[in-house]
Structure 1
Amino acid sequence: MKGDRDLPLQTVYLLHSRPYRENSLLLNLLSAELGHISAVAYAGSSRKNSKKAQLQPFSVLEVQLKVSGSMYTLSQIESATLPLPLSRQFLYSGFYLNELCVRLLPQNISCDPLFEQYHQALQQLNNQQSIEPILRKFEFSLLEELGLGIDFSVLETEPGVAERDSQYWYYLPEQGLIPADYQLQADKFCYQHLIAIRDGKLQQSDVLLTCKALMRQVFKPLLGNRPLQSRKLFAYSKR
């Protein structure tokens, strides 16, 4: 990006904000057109500053961004919707989605399908639908956006070969799904459950448990050793 210029109005969600220099905030935003971006917003010193008040997560924001060198600056903001009144587990789930995006999404790459999936997930959380399928579907969308989607084609049987419904499979980060033909220090996943996950059939509780365990294995090397703060909120709420 070269020179200073104003971008067209952008529809974004706020993923995260933190203090940045004097009277400013550093924002992580999710935009369909721009993807995950960082932007600086002057917030002023007053608690009544309208810009600071409008910078709320889980709200559709219309923002004007100025590009200066490699830096985005937020010059104007309007709230297109009120923040969704998420609470307890639904709120923590929203924080989880935000944290995954901030931690894993590269910046300045358009991600329209993921933006739509994020928007849909928030609406479902607001309607207090079952949380686990919402999170799992978003995780799969995020993996696809990262180019790390799971290859389920290895589960397909060749003509004349008996179904593998009695077999178990491992997931290895470097290799994906492999038959559990030898002992590894890793979770094994039921073939039938993996087929259901592949087909998006996440209604059964045992399939959901398998899917959650699978996602934990997939995301562990991507997230590294730094724990997710949103998972701590889930843990605290169960005490």
Structure 2
Amino acid sequence: MQITSESAYVLHARAWRETSLVVEVLCADHGRVGLVARGVSTPKRHPLRAALQPLQCIRLEAVQRGELATLRSAEAIDTAPRLSGEGALAGFYLNELTLRLSPRMDPLPTLHAAYARTRDLLGEPPRSLAWALRCYERDLLEAIGFGFDWHVDGDGVAIDPAARYRLDAEHGPRRLLHDRGSSDRSDAATGAALLGLAGDHPPADEDLLSLRRPMRVLLAHHLGGRGLKSWEMAAQLRRLQPATNG
């Protein structure tokens, strides 16, 4: 199969043999594709290697004959965002999550569009960035067939903005009926936050913060027993922050 003049985002690249790379990309028409880029460490092919950096948008030509396609050519369409700090970690998370959950060779145009929107927001301030990531998590789950109707709970009852809900991967949002304290609430999102996701309206700060842990529990279910390296890195960063600020 020929892949011709296709727009794609680079998710990951790793060394393969002496001069080549195995590259994972998210294509507009073919979904996630694994590519072998041969000989990119030679001086003549340095421009190609430079185009195969994570978060880069490229136009590629490839031939698919097995599990991995052979990359014929690739050129950068734009300039990948230059990120540092939380933005760089968010970019790593965006790529890692997409790589782990999106199936190979399954066209997902809505996911490609959601990735493009989110990549463009990676340099935003922390609050806007957090909202962009929650929306991407929602859109990714929807694209791979595990999304929710965020207007209602798993029993079809309208979401109450004043209530709290756990996110059950098999059932949908479950209303928290008995508040057992802060530890119980930390694993439950506010109804206002869920309605924010339903309508693409950023919720208040406290509601937005309530989404992070429940969404992680939901994603962890679909990831299986192995979590994300970006989650570990974020936890390490949070542990270091008090010492740095103090």
- What range is the shorter-chain TM-score in? 0.7 to 0.9
Q: CA deviation at 1:84?
A: 1.6
Q: CA deviation at 1:106?
A: 0.5
Query: Which of 17, 20, 31 is the matching residue for 2:16?
Result: 20
Query: Which of 138, 141, 144 is the matching residue for 1:143?
Result: 141
Flag the 1:133–1:169 CA change in 2: closer, same or farther, 3 A.
closer
Query: Which of 115, 120, 123 is the matching residue for 2:117?
Result: 120
Which deviations, in whole Å up to 9, do the C-alpha atoms of 1:119-153 show, x marking residues without a partner? 11111223557210110111111010111112334
Aligned to 1:172: 168
Q: CA deviation at 1:70?
A: 4.3
Higher RCO (C-alpha 8 Å, min separation 6):
1
Q: CA deviation at 1:167?
A: 4.0
Q: Map 1:89-128; keep pairs closer than 5 Å.
A: 89-128=86-125
Which deviations, in whole Å up to 9, do the C-alpha atoms of 1:12-68 show, x marking residues without a partner? 111001122342211110111111111111034436632222211222111111122
Which deviations, in whole Å up to 9, do the C-alpha atoms of 1:67-121 show, x marking residues without a partner? 2244311011111222221121111111111001110101101111111111111
Return 81-90 or 167-176, whichever deviates more: 167-176
Work out the number of aligned pairs and report it.
231
Indicate if the aligned counterparts of 2:150 and 2:197 stay in contact, CA closer than 8 A. no
Which deviations, in whole Å up to 9, do the C-alpha atoms of 1:159-196 show, x marking residues without a partner? xxxx9555443332221222334689963343344333
Indicate if the aligned counterparts of 2:190 and 2:211 stay in contact, CA closer than 8 A. no
Q: Distance in 2 between matches of 1:143 and 1:175?
A: 14
Larger radius of gyration: 1
Flag the 1:148–1:102 CA change in 2: closer, same or farther, 3 A.
same
Indicate if the aligned counterparts of 1:63 and 1:76 stay in contact, CA closer than 8 A. yes
Return 21-30 or 184-193, whichever deviates more: 184-193
Aligned-residue Cα RMSD (Å) equals: 2.7
Aligned to 1:67: 64
The unaligned stretches of length 5 or more in structure 1 are none
Aligned to 1:228: 228
Residue identity in the other structure for 1:212: R
Secondary structure of 1:125 counterpart: coil
Aligned to 1:35: 31
Residue identity in the other structure for 2:81: L
Residue identity in the other structure for 1:144: E
Q: CA deviation at 1:217?
A: 1.8
Flag the 1:97–1:164 CA change in 2: closer, same or farther, 3 A.
closer
Q: Distance in 2 between matches of 1:199 and 1:75?
A: 42
Residue identity in the other structure for 1:151: D
TM-score by length of 2: 0.82
Flag the 1:23–1:142 CA change in 2: closer, same or farther, 3 A.
same
Indicate if the aligned counterparts of 1:151 and 1:177 stay in contact, CA closer than 8 A. no
Indicate if the aligned counterparts of 2:12 and 2:53 stay in contact, CA closer than 8 A. no
Q: Distance in 1 between matches of 2:161 and 2:67?
A: 52
Secondary structure of 2:130 counterpart: helix
Indicate if the aligned counterparts of 1:20 and 1:26 stay in contact, CA closer than 8 A. yes
The unaligned stretches of length 5 or more in structure 2 are 241-246
Identity of aligned residues (%): 27
Which deviations, in whole Å up to 9, do the C-alpha atoms of 1:194-215 show, x marking residues without a partner? 3334333324111111221221
